[in-house]
């Protein structure tokens, strides 16, 4: 396995066992096995347990509020089935809600039918410390269940759609249209010019936070074209050669971050104020200070995100 595949949310090699999605009897048999487990997700927050994902056994009282069909995630290393279920219908006794629009919400929510070591929490707060397989199952669960919540109606005729194929398809009973979970491709760029790296910060980010430039790909666009367009739009810097480095599933709500290196052919920065609050060139030596938490202006990148992964490997000169 390439080192690029060791980024958070990837590299576990879980068996998605897609053949079971269209075999309901075989899947039901797997679901009834004692080793089968279910991961609840409440309003976008997965359940965390004492050592990783908050897997529950079938019939656990905490699952009583589940109102949607389960999604089959795959099989673990021992061949046990793993499922996810949307528990958003559960109402906390105090009426608390996850924060909307916050950069990172540290709030945790506990279910009265589970002991205190279980809590619903923002995945980004723990993503770097999760067991690799749990992280991959959790990012899949959050993304697919989020898609179901936002795509309950047929985009062709507007009628309510229903889940099929163990949660990996929605079908419209009215017009017969089939819909599948979407993934939005995003390019994230390690833009270099000699010994320097281009960083930017978006409005609303925490003070001192800078990162690699990134942006959604557009229809009909290649990775290389998207990298060049986004960098030019956000900073005015022209990029020449582009190469792929690594990718990371990113469930906010359901993106695939595609890490690329772009070689800058110009260095003058003209930030687009609607997207970039500031941008600057940082030397490899300065970036080493950033990663060590010693830089006077730029804070250390978040652990677990692909931007930090790319920057760390660039400083160590081990991108492959």
Same domain for 171 and 112, yes or no, is no
pLDDT tens string 254-294: 999 999 999 999 999 999 999 999 999 999 999 999 999 99
DSSP string, 190-226: EEEETTEEEEEE-TTSPTT--B-EEEE--TT--HHHH
**Position 105 confidence tier, pLDDT thresholds 50, 70, 90:** confident
pLDDT at 206 over 50: yes
Which residues have a Cβ under 8 Å from the Cβ of 265 and sit 6 or more positions away?
A: 238, 239, 240
Please give the average per-residue pLDDT across 168-172, as a whole number.
Answer: 98
Residue 316 to residues 243, 257, 288, 309, Cα–Cα distance (Å): 18, 21, 9, 11
d(CA 307, CA 257): 9
Question: Per mean pLDDT, which range of 85-99, 156-170, 199-213, 218-232 is the poorest?
Answer: 85-99
Mean predicted lDDT score pLDDT of the chain: 94
Residue of higher predicted confidence among 312 and 2? 312
d(CA 187, CA 261): 10
Same domain for 141 and 8, yes or no, is yes
pLDDT value at residue 1: 45
Please give the average per-residue pLDDT across 218-226, as a whole number.
Answer: 98
67, 94 contact by CB (below 8 A): no
Which residues have a Cβ under 8 Å from the Cβ of 92 and sit 6 or more positions away?
A: 109
Q: Do β-strands 278-283 and 196-201 pair in parallel, antiparallel, or remain unpaired?
A: antiparallel
d(CA 228, CA 220): 14
H or E stretch covering 2? none
Q: What CATH number did the domain enclosing 258 receive?
A: 3.90.79.10
Same domain for 212 and 118, yes or no, is no
Domain that holds residue 253: 184-315
Same domain for 188 and 306, yes or no, is yes
**320 is a domain residue:** no
Same domain for 233 and 306, yes or no, is yes
pLDDT tens string 304-314: 999 999 999 99
Same domain for 261 and 220, yes or no, is yes
The token duo for 43 is 């309003």
Same domain for 111 and 203, yes or no, is no
Which residues have a Cβ under 8 Å from the Cβ of 44 and sit 6 or more positions away?
A: 98, 142, 146
Q: Which of 160, 212, 169 is nearest to 189 (CA)?
A: 212
**Position 100 confidence tier, pLDDT thresholds 50, 70, 90:** confident
Domain stops at, among 134, 149, 164: 149
Same domain for 242 and 201, yes or no, is yes
Please give the average per-residue pLDDT across 195-200, as a whole number.
Answer: 97
Same domain for 189 and 302, yes or no, is yes
265 three-state secondary structure: coil
Same domain for 174 and 208, yes or no, is no
pLDDT at 166 over 80: yes
In the chain, how many domains are there? 3
Same domain for 20 and 139, yes or no, is yes
Same domain for 157 and 278, yes or no, is no
In the DSSP assignment, the letter for residue 116 is: T
Q: Do β-strands 162-164 and 71-75 pair in parallel, antiparallel, or remain unpaired?
A: unpaired
Q: Which of 70, 63, 143 is nearest to 111 (CA)?
A: 63
**25 is a domain residue:** yes
């Amino acid at each position: 396995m390439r080192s690029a595949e060791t980024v958070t949310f990837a590299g576990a090699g879980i068996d998605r066992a897609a053949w079971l999605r269209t075999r309901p009897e075989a899947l039901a048999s797997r679901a009834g096995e004692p080793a089968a487990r279910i991961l609840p997700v409440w309003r976008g927050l997965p359940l965390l347990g004492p050592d990783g994902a908050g897997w529950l056994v079938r019939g656990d009282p905490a699952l009583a509020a589940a109102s949607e069909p389960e999604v089959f995630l795959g099989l673990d290393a021992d061949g046990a089935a793993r499922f996810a279920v949307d528990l958003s219908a559960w109402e906390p006794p105090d009426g608390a809600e996850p924060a909307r629009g916050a950069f990172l919400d540290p709030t945790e929510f506990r279910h009265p039918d589970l002991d205190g070591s279980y809590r619903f929490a923002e995945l980004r707060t723990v993503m770097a410390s999760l067991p690799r397989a749990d992280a991959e199952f959790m990012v899949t669960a959050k993304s697919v269940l989020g898609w179901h919540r936002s795509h309950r109606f047929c985009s062709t005729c507007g009628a309510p759609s229903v889940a099929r194929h163990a949660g990996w398809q929605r079908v419209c009973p009215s017009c017969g249209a089939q819909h599948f979970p979407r993934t939005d491709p995003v390019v994230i760029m390690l833009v270099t010019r000699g010994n320097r790296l281009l960083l930017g910060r978006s409005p609303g980010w925490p003070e001192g936070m800078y990162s690699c430039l990134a942006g959604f790909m557009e229809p009909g666009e290649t990775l290389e074209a998207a990298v060049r367009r986004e960098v030019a739009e956000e900073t005015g810097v022209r990029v020449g050669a582009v190469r792929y480095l690594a990718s990371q599933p990113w469930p906010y709500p359901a993106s695939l971050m595609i890490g690329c290196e772009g070689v800058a052919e110009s260095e003058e920065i003209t930030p687009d104020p609607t997207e970039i609050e500031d941008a600057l060139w940082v030397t490899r030596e300065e970036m080493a200070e950033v990663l060590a938490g010693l830089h006077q202006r730029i804070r250390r990148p978040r652990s677990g995100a692909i931007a930090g992964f790319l920057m760390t490997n660039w400083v160590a000169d081990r991108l492959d």
